Chain A
């Protein structure tokens, strides 16, 4: 089972907005509203920033937002800050045989 497809890297300047895409199929992203996003700084564990497509956990900045259209989910970070520089991963439920798929990760560079 293939991983979800994310761009390898994105970049933006402080204050700008960026969007990271996560493309799956009708068997995963397109079929379930169970997409989540994680932020991972070097040497640290992933941190949940979005769950169930667009919900933010308590304590996560409202600069992080997300949506889904068809087989593609998207994470938008607005008002980029230096601390946002990290790797970002999407994740989707994929049914009772595969269960979970992760994206390959996107490295965000804040210029």
Chain B
């Protein structure tokens, strides 16, 4: 059974870096078909896709324009997981953050989700 297990702090101070990890079980971050995404959800912004990483002979990343200057998504091949770093956070970055598998990279549907992590940006 494929599962995504999220971890990371639930409280981040303004201007600091938000860091979350998503551990994959039952699949591989090296998958030739899947892509590994981060999506967030807040009452003000709804569901918002942030970015993804995937492997097709080499590693690729795509990022949403809204966060492109602040985001890094990195695969950790030794631990079969991937991580999100969002720099210079502000209160409007407060949201539930989900990791999600894109079942077939390029088909843009998310067939497996982590449970979500509520991240609050506050001093």
A contact residues vs B (CB 8 Å cutoff): 1, 3, 34, 36, 38, 45-48, 51-52, 57, 89, 91-93, 97-100, 102-105
* Chain A, residue nearest B49 (CB): A100
Q: How far is the CB of B9 from chain A (nearest CB, A)?
A: 19
Pair count A-B, CB < 8 A? 54
Size class of the contact patch on chain B: 10 to 19
Among the listed stretches B12-20, B79-87, B112-120, which one makes contact with chain A, having 4 or more residues with CB under 8 Å of it? Answer: B112-120
Bound: A98/B109 CA distance, A = 15
Cα(A105)–Cα(B113), bound, Å: 18
Residues in A with CB closer than 8 Å to B116 are 45
Q: Give the docked Cα–Cα distance between A51 and B112 (Å).
A: 12
Q: Is residue B48 contacting chain A, with contact meaning CB distance below 8 A?
A: yes
A97 near B65 (CB under 8 angstroms)? yes
Min CB distance A23 to B, Å, is 15
Taking a contact as CB atoms closer than 8 A, the residue among A45, A51, A97, A105 that contacts B109 in the complex is A51
Contact of B107 among A47, A51, A89, A102 (CB under 8 A): A51
